[in-house]
Amino acid sequence: GAVVSQHPSRVICKSGTSVKIECRSLDFQATTMFWYRQFPKQSLMLMATSNEGSKATYEQGVEKDKFLINHASLTLSTLTVTSAHPEDSSFYICSARPTGTGNQPQHFGDGTRLSIL
Amino acid sequence: GESVGLHLPTLSVQEGDNSIINCAYSNSASDYFIWYKQESGKGPQFIIDIRSNMDKRQGQRVTVLLNKTVKHLSLQIAATQPGDSAVYFCAENSIAGNMLTFGGGTRLMVKP
């Protein structure tokens, strides 16, 4: 089955640090990947859609300069939380769908727990 | 199930019983629906999906029912096991589109 790998699984860092999270599709190509944020006991909220070779599409209320997305290849998207602050602490999850499969489910990584001190 | 404030609705069942988890969706244009299972500290895991041209689909121990008239989706788990304990999310999508919209989630607790 389609596997999505996310790294790191957990990050603890000081306020003001920038943190990069990687999302890789291991056995398929993904033109589009998705980044979600999840607060405790809540559902997943889409932050942005990452498009290979072009700019990401951000959801309303998500600062593109704060959450930098790069999708440089068909198997890798990165999310960089710039100058992170305690309010950025959350569970960040990426997903991907094999290219050309619009009617197939998205496959999710195991998330990154970000804790800003 | 839909979240109420910061608290997920919880369904508690005895091991071996059947579980039914409900979801109301909002977009009448949605034509593809998915159930995901999320265990603590992990990403959502695909369980089963259904397209709008169907009203029922069965998998291994799971059945999804779709009622487009009232925009309602349910997940039935037969002979619930302790390993089924998790948070379950429904998600809706348009086949022509890219984005998933997640429901609020329901926590399933299985008592041994």
For residue B60, the model assigns a pLDDT of 93
Residues of B with CB below 8 A from A107's CB?
46
Cβ–Cβ below 8 Å for B6 and A46: no
Cβ–Cβ below 8 Å for B36 and A46: no
pLDDT tens track for B6-56: 568 999 999 999 999 999 998 888 889 999 999 999 999 999 999 999 999
Q: How many contacts, defined by CB atoms under 8 Å, are there between A and B?
A: 62
Lowest mean pLDDT among A43-47, A78-82, B82-86, B93-97: B93-97
Cβ–Cβ below 8 Å for B100 and A102: no
- Picking from A6, A40, A43, the nearest residue to B103 by CB comes out as A43
For residue A103, the model assigns a pLDDT of 65
- Picking from A34, A102, A108, the nearest residue to B96 by CB comes out as A102
pLDDT mean over A8-14: 97
Coil vs helix vs strand at B9: coil
- Picking from B34, B43, B97, the nearest residue to A105 by CB comes out as B34
- Grade residue B95 by pLDDT with cuts at 50, 70 and 90: low
pLDDT tens track for A30-49: 989 999 999 998 999 999 99
Tell me the pLDDT of chain A averaged across its residues. 93
Q: Residue type at B13? A: V
pLDDT mean over A93-100: 88
> Alpha carbon of A74 to those of A23, A52, A55, A103: distances in Å?
11, 6, 14, 19
Cβ–Cβ below 8 Å for B44 and A113: no
CA distance A32 to A29: 9
Sequence-ordered list of residues with C-beta below 8 angstroms from that of A3, at least 6 positions apart, any chain: A25, A26, A27, A107
Q: Calculate what percentage of chain A has a pLDDT beyond 70.
A: 97
Sequence-ordered list of residues with C-beta below 8 angstroms from that of A104, at least 6 positions apart, any chain: A97, A98
For residue B2, the model assigns a pLDDT of 36
Judge contact between A23 and A48, C-beta under 8 A.
no
| Chain A nearest-CA residue for B105 | A43
Statement: residue B4 has pLDDT above 50: no
Q: Which of A57, A92, A101, A106 is the best mutation test for B, with the most CBs of B within 10 A? A: A106
For residue B18, the model assigns a pLDDT of 97
In the numeric block, the tokens 């195991």 are attached to: A110
Q: Calculate what percentage of chain B has a pLDDT beyond 70.
A: 90
- Grade residue B96 by pLDDT with cuts at 50, 70 and 90: low
Q: How far is CA A34 from the centre of its chain?
A: 6
